């Protein structure tokens, strides 16, 4: 049975086409003005990538911020459920899922029964979301992928004293003006990000195995700092961490089809 | 006896010179990178406005973020103490002072003698500080004065769903793209900021009369928005609300000097 999942977030849209235990196709695009357009575009790309047609699909589930505006889905499911399910598909027995998206951060604890036991979301404050890294990367004139690599090249450990993105921005500018190396500042930015995320994770209760999903999981500097702060390893995913929500949606689509 | 108060803030420096119970002169300027230089400059300007030499100042108290870098101050006091003292001097009935500075906001509750009973302070989050309006003004291409006036012209203020400065900035850009009236957007921003500051004041069980101090209090849109958010009318001070901290420092300087004999 071939199914699909579509995750329309605030900054990116993701789609996954699944056949049994195998991902046939996947796509990630920058979100367009309207969620409907983003959904259509990313869905087409994933279908093309899988080499199948829409009529071949047994079902499709939508998730994410724009999930109620995706025209072609049979159901919409919360991001929490989808991220949990996608992470479980990749790492059976995973108990803590930390998802850091472009404009929010979620910590999800999964019980021994495999169901979501507890979760916390921050979408009120830009600190601890992808937006924080985006702003800092802009000031440091590095792209997001480079920012993650700065941590291992840093020589002196620095700590940003501000949590607020606006104040931290001013602090980073001061550090640049004081000729502090970009590597050291970048490492401090990744550390600050991980620190903020770790507070959310601790509040939900961290249990092994732990994994990280969402675009920020591609930042190795943040992941390593988070491992240190939480005192536990963060399992690496064998797939792009950004597609986990869409993957979970596809897994749920398959269950729904099998059930009906 | 002539005394002075100097308030070195994050964005502006203020100095007030008092003779007995009268304000002789006051000055406000943008800070320079070096706080000592800001302190000297703002004091020199105030002295020249008052037409007196600096050796006539019997006592000077410093306050604000840069208070430990004022070379000529005999003592320092907290901003909370100075704002409370300044507002009480204006009007003995003031029970709550709301101060919004460039990078912080405070709510202070006083008793009838002007003694501080409680206070709350935010300098951790840029939302609800002067920086919020500054960033929004830059995003909209408007100066702060124009924003205040525009805000009052709104007939149906926009409702912002974000408090975070970073997220609110994105939100207003999409409001502009949606074709919302600029005055409605600006009024919505003032409402959002007033709401944030009002929660600080409510947290300390605000009581009337209320005074509003700091540079942001000069913005008539914000004045009105804060009155709406608090549900009370705010007492208008006779002097520039931005000098209130320096004024309080000068009053405390007078007390310190008379105690010293």
Nearest to A126 among B124, B131, B164 (CB): B164
| Phi, psi of B158, deg, nearest 5 | -70, 150
The answer, yes or no, to whether residue A260 has pLDDT greater than 80, is no
Spatial distance between the Cα atoms of B221 and B157, rounded to a whole number of angstroms: 12
Residue with tokens 């796509």: A27
- Minimum CA–CA partner of A125 in chain B: B164
Per-residue exposure over A114-132, b if at least 16 CB sit within 10 Å of its own CB, e if not: eebbebbebbebbbbbbbb
Mean pLDDT of A117-126: 96
How far does the CA of residue B131 sit from the closest CA of chain A (Å)?
A: 9
Kindly list the structural domains of chain A, giving each domain's residue range(s) and its CATH number in brackets, ordered by start. Answer: 1-91+240-260 (3.30.420.40), 94-236 (3.30.420.40)
* Mean model confidence pLDDT for chain A: 95
| Mean pLDDT in residue range B146-168 | 94
Strand order, beta sheet including A22-30: A22-30, A12-19, A2-8, A59-63, A75-76
Distances (CA, A) of A91 to A85, A96, A236, A237, B32: 10, 11, 9, 8, 56
Taking CA atoms, what residue in B is nearest to A103?
B167
- What mean pLDDT is predicted for residues B67-88? 96
Helix (H), strand (E) at residue A13: strand A12-19
Residues of A with CB under 8 A from a CB of B: 103, 124-126, 131, 135, 162-167
From the list A103, A135, A164, which residue is nearest B125 (CB)?
A164
Single out the residue of A207, A194, A63 nearest to residue A129, CA to CA.
A194
Residues of chain B in contact with residue A35, where contact means CB-CB under 8 angstroms, are none
CA distance A12 to B75: 55
Query: CA–CA separation, A127 vs A145, rounded Å?
Result: 19
Q: What integer pLDDT is reported at residue B64 of this predicted model?
A: 94
**pLDDT given at position A20:** 86
Put simply, whether B164 touches A (Cβ < 8 Å) is: yes
Confidence of residue B260 (pLDDT cuts 50, 70, 90): confident
Helices A220-230, A182-204: axis angle to 10 degrees equals 50
Torsions phi, psi for B37 (to 5 deg): -65, -40
C-beta atoms of A125 and B164 within 8 A: yes
Grade residue A258 by pLDDT with cuts at 50, 70 and 90. Answer: confident
Cis link prior to A209 (omega < 30° from 0)?
yes
pLDDT at A184: 97
Taking the C-alpha atoms of residue A221 and residue A197, their distance in angstroms, rounded to an integer, is: 13
Nearest chain A residue to B177 by CA: give it.
A33
Phi-psi region at A231: left, alpha or beta (left = phi > 0; alpha = psi -120 to 50): left
Q: Inter-chain contact B126–A103, Cβ cutoff 8 Å?
A: no
Cβ atoms of A94 and A209 within 8 Å: the answer is yes
CB pair distance less than 8 Å for A125 and B165: no
Both structure tokens of A198:
């770790």
Q: Which of B122, B114, B102 is nearest to B28 (CA)?
A: B102
For residue B261, the model assigns a pLDDT of: 63
Q: Is B176 exposed, middle or buried (0-12, 13-18, 19+ CB in 10 A)?
A: middle
Distance between the two ends of chain A, CA-based, in angstroms?
13
Cβ contacts of A120 within 8 Å, gap of 6 or more: A106, A107, A200, A203, A204
| CB-nearest partner of A124 from B103, B131, B164 | B164
Q: Give the minimum alpha-carbon distance from A195 to chain B in angstroms, rounded to a whole number.
A: 16
Note whether B222 and B194 are within 8 A (CB): yes
pLDDT for residue A126: 97
Candidates A167, A174, A199: best to mutate against B (most CBs of B within 10 A) is A167
Task: Mark residue A64 as left, alpha or beta (left: phi above 0; alpha: psi -120 to 50; beta: remaining).
Answer: left
The rounded distance, in Å, linking the Cα atoms of A3 and A81 is: 17
pLDDT tens for residues A138-179? 999 999 889 999 999 999 999 999 999 999 999 999 999 999
Q: Give the pLDDT band (50/70/90) at residue A11.
A: confident
* Residues of A with Cβ-Cβ distance to B124 under 8 angstroms: 162-164, 167
B201-246 residue pLDDT tens: 999 999 999 999 999 999 999 999 999 999 999 999 999 999 999 9
Domain B1-91+239-261 matches domain B94-236 at the CATH topology level: yes
In the DSSP assignment, the letter for residue B207 is -
Residue-range domain boundaries for chain B: 1-91+239-261, 94-236
Tell me the three state secondary structure of residue B48: helix
Q: What is the CATH number of domain B1-91+239-261?
A: 3.30.420.40
pLDDT in tens, A178-235: 999 999 999 999 999 999 999 999 999 999 999 999 999 999 999 999 999 999 999 9
Q: Which two tokens stand for residue B44?
A: 């020199």
User: Hey, what are A36's tokens?
Assistant: 């409907």
CA distance A98 to B261: 64
The CA R_g of chain A, rounded to the nearest whole Å, is 19
Identity of the residue in B162, B163, B165 whose CB atom sits nearest the CB atom of A166: B165
Distance (Å) from the C-alpha of residue B220 to the closest C-alpha of chain A? Answer: 25
Q: Which of A135, A162, A163 sits opposite B166 (nearest CB)?
A: A135
Q: CB contact, 8 Å: B133 with chain A?
A: no
Q: What angle do CA A7, B167, A234 make, to 5 degrees?
A: 55
Residue B10's pLDDT band (boundaries 50, 70, 90)? confident
Query: 3-class DSSP state for residue A222?
Result: helix
Confidence at residue A13, expressed as pLDDT on a 0 to 100 scale: 95
Q: Please tell me the distance from the alpha carbon of residue B79 to that of residue B10, in angstroms, as a whole number.
A: 12
**B1 CB within 8 Å of a chain A CB:** no
The minimal CB distance from B124 to the residues A126, A131, A164 is found for A164
Measured between beta carbons, the chain A residues lying within 8 angstroms of B103 are 167
CA distance A166 to chain B (A): 6
Q: Return the CA Rg of chain B.
A: 19
A187, A175 Cβ separation under 8 angstroms: no
**CB-nearest partner of B124 from A103, A131, A163:** A163
- Fold topology of B94-236: Nucleotidyltransferase; domain 5 (3.30.420)
């Amino acid at each position: 049975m071939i199914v699909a999942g579509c995750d329309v977030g605030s900054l990116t849209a993701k789609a996954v086409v699944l056949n049994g235990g195998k991902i046939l196709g996947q796509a990630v695009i920058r979100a367009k003005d309207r969620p409907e357009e983003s959904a259509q575009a990313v869905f087409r790309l994933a279908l093309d990538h899988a080499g199948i047609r829409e009529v071949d699909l047994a079902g499709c589930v939508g998730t994410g911020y724009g999930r109620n505006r995706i025209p072609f889905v049979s159901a919409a499911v919360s991001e929490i459920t989808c991220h949990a399910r996608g992470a479980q598909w990749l790492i059976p027995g995973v108990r803590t899922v930390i998802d850091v998206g472009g404009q929010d951060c979620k910590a999800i604890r999964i019980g021994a029964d495999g169901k979501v036991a507890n979760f916390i979301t921050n979408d009120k404050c830009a600190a601890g979301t992808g937006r924080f890294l985006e702003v800092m990367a802009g000031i440091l004139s590095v792209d997001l992928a480079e920012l993650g690599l700065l941590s291992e090249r840093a020589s002196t450990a620095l700590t940003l004293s501000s949590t607020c993105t606006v104040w931290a921005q001013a602090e980073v500018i001061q550090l640049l003006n004081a000729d502090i190396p970009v590597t050291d500042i970048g490492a401090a930015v990744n550390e600050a990000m991980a620190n903020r995320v770790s507070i959310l994770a601790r509040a939900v209760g961290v249990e092994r195995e732990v994994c990280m999903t969402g675009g920020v999981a591609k930042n190795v500097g943040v992941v390593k700092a988070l491992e240190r702060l939480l005192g536990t390893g963060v399992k690496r995913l064998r797939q792009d961490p950004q597609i986990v929500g869409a993957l979970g949606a596809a897994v749920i689509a398959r269950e729904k089809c099998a059930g009906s | 006896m002539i005394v002075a108060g100097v308030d070195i803030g994050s964005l502006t420096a203020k100095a007030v010179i008092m003779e007995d119970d009268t304000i002789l002169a006051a000055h406000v300027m943008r800070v320079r990178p070096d706080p000592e230089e800001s302190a000297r400059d703002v004091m020199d300007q105030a002295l020249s406005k008052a037409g007196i030499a600096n050796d006539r100042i019997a006592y000077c108290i410093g306050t604000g973020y840069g208070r430990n870098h004022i070379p000529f101050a005999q003592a320092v006091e907290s901003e909370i103490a100075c704002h409370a003292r300044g507002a009480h001097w204006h009007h003995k009935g003031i029970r709550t002072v709301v101060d919004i500075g460039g990078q912080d906001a405070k709510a202070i509750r006083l008793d009838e003698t002007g003694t501080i009973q409680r206070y709350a302070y935010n300098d951790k989050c840029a939302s609800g500080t002067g920086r919020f309006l500054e960033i929004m003004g830059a995003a909209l291409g408007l100066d702060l004065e124009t924003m205040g006036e525009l805000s009052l012209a709104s007939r149906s203020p926009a409702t912002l769903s974000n408090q975070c400065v970073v997220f609110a900035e994105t939100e207003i850009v999409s409001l502009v793209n949606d074709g919302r009236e600029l005055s409605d957007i600006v009024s919505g921003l003032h409402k959002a900021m007033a709401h944030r500051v009002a929660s600080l004041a409510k947290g300390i069980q605000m009581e009337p009369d209320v005074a509003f101090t700091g540079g942001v209090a000069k913005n008539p849109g914000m004045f009105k928005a804060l009155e709406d958010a608090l549900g009370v009318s705010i007492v208008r001070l006779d002097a520039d609300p931005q000098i209130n901290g320096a004024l309080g420092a000068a009053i405390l300087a007078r007390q310190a000097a008379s105690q010293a004999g």
